[in-house]
Amino acid sequence: MGVVNVTPDSFSDGGRYLDTGAAVEHGLALLADGADVLDIGGESTRPGATRPLVADELGRVVPVIERLAAQGATVSVDTMRAEVARAAVDAGAAIVNDVSGGLADPGMAAAVAATDALFVAMHWRSHSTRMYDLAVYDGPGGVVGAVVDELADRLEALAAAGLAPERVVLDPGLGFAKRGEQNWELLRGLDALDALGRPVLVGASRKSFLGALLAGPDGEPRGVEGREHAHQAVIADCARRGTWGVRVHDVRATRDTLAAVAALAGPSSAPSSSSPSSSASSQPLATDAAAGCGTVSS
């Protein structure tokens, strides 16, 4: 899943693709590099980010989605707002990627349920202004147990609102209400999410816990552009575990990593030609290095 931030303030590339034409050009470049899905977002979720007006978010994402979908791209919209989700699906989006898992907007689950779109539900506890205050996981299962339990609760709530679990992909929410080591603990325990029976999407690209790991002798975190090698190690581990998909900025490097993982796994992991949809069985990264993200089944 290649990232297209149509925002002025995203932590890694804010402002670079705010213009519709620049965003579309970037999306097409990611497709050429091998992206299966383009995730179009019009709101930054970095710590301390100010939420845009609904009209501004719509104005950012809808024209980009229309143009990329018209060229055959599988498009996801990265939004926490039901109104934006509906407009994005009408414009051609096939996936709604909500970092709040439907918590930020009570109407989100019903809005998505009324469409054919898949729904990505991320583990989330609060908007960016408070997320680090809530990075407390004192239960016996630590951060892994809490994330599994809270995502299980989200699946139940989404189903109660009409959105069947078969249409949901789960995201553990790296960097959201998680401090440094908690992210690594969660990645080490990623297999625990298998108990929920849903595909998993992981988004670690350029995040601050990678920068902290790579800090220099002065303790200064590595800048976003210098975190990619560490990020690719995370992707390789996700592929080895059979993760459904990864949300990335550098698609070409990710393709190279997945090809190497598949080669190491041997002939039984030969790539297929699937792409995300709502009508086929789950296909993890580890067995689909050329096609990338898998599909979700009903």
Cα–Cα distance between 288 and 34 in angstroms, integer?
12
Phi, psi values for residue 66, rounded to 5°: -55, -45
Paired strand residues for 120 = 97, 169
- For residues 5-19, one letter each, b for 16 or more C-beta atoms within 10 angstroms of the residue's C-beta and e for the rest, the string is bbbeebbbbeeebbe
CA dihedral 15, 1, 136, 216 (to 10 degrees): -60
Phi, psi values for residue 144, rounded to 5°: -65, -50
Chain Cα centroid distance, residue 71: 22
* Eight-state DSSP code of residue 121: E
Which are the catalytic amino acids? 207, 247
Do residues 96 and 117 touch, judged by C-beta distance below 8 A? yes
Q: Which of 19, 26, 18 is nearest to 249 (CA)?
A: 26
* Length reported for the chain: 298
Using DSSP, state whether 22 is helix, strand or coil.
helix
